[in-house]
Amino acid sequence: MCHPSPKRFALLLLLVTAVSAHAAEPSQSWTLDDAFRRTIANHPNVLQAIAKSQSARAQIDVARNAWLPTATFDVNHQESTSNLAAVGSPSFGLNPFWQTSLQTKWIAWDFGKTTANIDAAEANAAMAEQDLRAAKVQLWSALAQGWVAVMAADAALAVYQATLVQLQRQRDAVRQQVELRARPDLDLFKAEADVAGAQGDLLRAEELARSQRLALAVAIAEPHISAGPLAPPVFDLQTVDAAALDDDARLDQLVALAVQNRPEFASIRARIDALQRLQLAAERVIRPNVYLSGQANAAGTDLTGLAFNYGLTVGLSFPLSTVWTQPPLIADAGAQVRALVASQDAQVLTLRGQINQAITSVIQARKRVPVAAAQVGYAEKAKDAATQRYKAGAGLWLDVADAESALLKAKLAVIQADLDVQAAIAQLAYALGRITPLQ
């Protein structure tokens, strides 16, 4: 399991819940998986990818239509003169002529042309399916990163709220001591300034929390994100320990695994396959067609006395013009295949850098967690010592204020360190193609 301890997340969820308690309409905790399901059901990028996938599937049937026969039925009426060369004086009177005809043609064999087109259409459909999956994965990554950012902003807001309450209480205590002439007026001025500063920090934290929720709403195409708490995400990668991640041989294995898992690379492979099949189809266009056709017609000068005739034809058709029109198309398809192969190799190099960076982020974020936790312990002891000295009359209020500020920063560092681990693991999950809801 690659996530911080349950105790820390329980504390984090408590802090976030404290923020949501002030909302006008309290709402139930929203989980990352719930949000993801709603996102992929409504997001325009997913809907667009679904439509493209459906269109690609329909093209398979379009390609199969080449196996079906074609048929036309014509009915026409003509009024014309009936002069012949052997007749003396010409006549300009019009005579009626009726004709009906039915023609059908079926390509019995095209030496693999239709089969190649069907295979190319199926490869395009597979590519569209992978594009759909890639759209979902990208949305998950944006959602996970935005989710962690909102939780960090909400948790920081809770800390600023608690700090303001504590500073207000301390200010009231200082005011009593100043009124009793046990402390100078300067201490009260400093306490009031600390409260004012905390109020300003709280306003900025509220704005940041609101901005992060709006950014998350934009990322997942939601009209708004509820002011209620977001449940802490748990990203279970089932990977090796962090110490083993920092290894070149292991990195090579993870890159190979990611190339197999990531839908972007599966889409490239499907696109290459589709182009290769299209290239094969273009080469086969030059081949002849064996066809069967039938004709039936009825013609005459009166609808009640039409003469009926029919015929059957077996033929071999050679598309001669394709000899000079197809080579450029074949060359273009081959060049596109080579370009995609080169693009895939370049993306593998980029992927290696992404995985390496994500692993580094996970390792470094994990290292910061115990350091931040230790800083909180030291800051709490320093604050208690400064407070006791101040109450005993041996210290200054400035020392207490500095200790409070240091404790606030330490608490925020712990929250950020825990969430940095989650953000780094989410990025690693995306880089490796291990998105749990899609497996």
Q: Is residue 241 pLDDT above 70, yes or no? A: no
* 10 is a domain residue: yes
CATH number at residue 361: 1.20.1600.10
pLDDT of residue 360: 84
Q: Is residue 294 part of a domain?
A: no
Q: What angle do CA 318, 322, 326 make, to 5 degrees?
A: 145
Contacts of 284 (CB under 8 A, 6+ apart): 110, 111, 112, 113, 116
Q: Identify which has the larger pLDDT, 2 or 435.
A: 435
Question: What's the total number of domains in the chain?
Answer: 1
Predicted pLDDT at 419:
80
Question: Which band of pLDDT confidence, cut at 50, 70 and 90, is reported for residue 6?
Answer: very low
pLDDT digits (tens, 9 = 90+) for 309-337: 899 999 988 888 888 888 998 899 889 88
Tell me: pLDDT of 10 over 50: no
pLDDT value of residue 339:
92
User: What are the φ and ψ backbone dihedral angles of 169, each rounded to 5 degrees?
Assistant: -65, -40
Residue 49 confidence class, pLDDT cut points 50, 70, 90? very high
Structure pTM? 0.72
Q: Residue 361: which pLDDT band, with cuts at 50, 70 and 90? A: confident
User: What confidence tier does 244 reach under pLDDT thresholds 50, 70, 90?
Assistant: low
Write down the pLDDT at residue 139.
Answer: 87
Q: Is residue 93 part of a domain?
A: no
- Average pLDDT along the chain: 81
Query: pLDDT tens digit string along 192-204?
Result: 888 898 899 899 9
- The per-residue pLDDT for range 367-410, each reduced to its tens digit, is 888 888 888 888 888 888 888 887 777 777 777 777 877 888 88
Output the CA torsion sign for 54, 56, 57, 63.
positive
Q: Does residue 34 belong to any structural domain of this protein? A: yes
Question: The domain containing residue 382 runs over which residues?
Answer: 6-68+114-286+343-438
Task: Return the pLDDT at 196.
Answer: 92
- Cα separation, 294 vs 313, in Å, equals 6
Distance CA 39, CA 35 (A): 6
Sheet strand arrangement including 289-300: 70-80, 95-109, 289-300, 307-317
Percent of the chain with pLDDT over 90: 14
Q: If you search the block for the tokens 């306003």, which residue do you land on? A: 203
Q: Provide the 8-state DSSP code for 231.
A: P
324 part of a folded domain: no
97 lies in a domain? no
Confidence of residue 134 (pLDDT cuts 50, 70, 90): confident
Tokens of 66: 């080449």
With respect to residue 91, please indicate whether it lies within any of the assigned structural domains: no
pLDDT of residue 194: 85
Burial of 117 (0-12, 13-18, 19+ CB in 10 A): buried
